[in-house]
Amino acid sequence: MKGEIVVMENCTSQHIILGNDGLNVYGIDINNTKDRYFTIGENKGQKFSLFKMPKQISVISSVKDTYKEEFVSNQFVEAQIDPSLLPKMGHDLIDVLYTYKNAFASDNEPLGTIKGPEVDITFNIDRPSPPLLRRPAYPAGPRAREAFKKHIQELIQLCKVWI
């Protein structure tokens, strides 16, 4: 569905105008039988009103996070948030600390503890060691080496002339 939206300053939108195809696809009642409503997808049984919102949605209820409260009460026993911070900044700080709590050390888990399969890495310094890599830095044949030497000598001579 293609649509065009115009943003205007100090203007309130009162109507959404869709073509009949869009109305049919999104399940909007084009006959206005009882109320203006729309459905989502093919589910015609669950209708959402455009203008009559249920009171439960408009009421903002604060749901308490018991895990977060427990985290704050346990972790901030000996610590305090700086009183010079604004209350919103303090709440934001607690939110960040709670969100990323696994990044910090605690009494039960020291910093750097890795949960998962244990991996043992052993370093061996005893013989036999793997053979050393015996490659030149720039692999080249004998003719290429002679050409490099000649080229370097020419560059050195050229530098002496300029100095």
The pLDDT tens digits for 74-121 are 877 777 888 888 889 988 988 888 888 877 766 676 656 666 677 777
Lowest mean pLDDT among 98-102, 142-146, 150-154: 98-102
List b or e across 35-59, with b for residues whose CB sees 16 or more CB atoms inside 10 angstroms: eebeeeeeeeeebeeeeeeeeeeee
* pLDDT value for 150: 92
Tell whether omega for the bond before 128 is within 30 degrees of 0, i.e. cis. yes
**Which residue in the block uniquely carries the two structure tokens 């589910």?**
43
**Who has greater pLDDT, 30 or 155?**
155
With CA atoms as reference, report the closest residue to 23 among 46, 3, 6, 7. Answer: 3
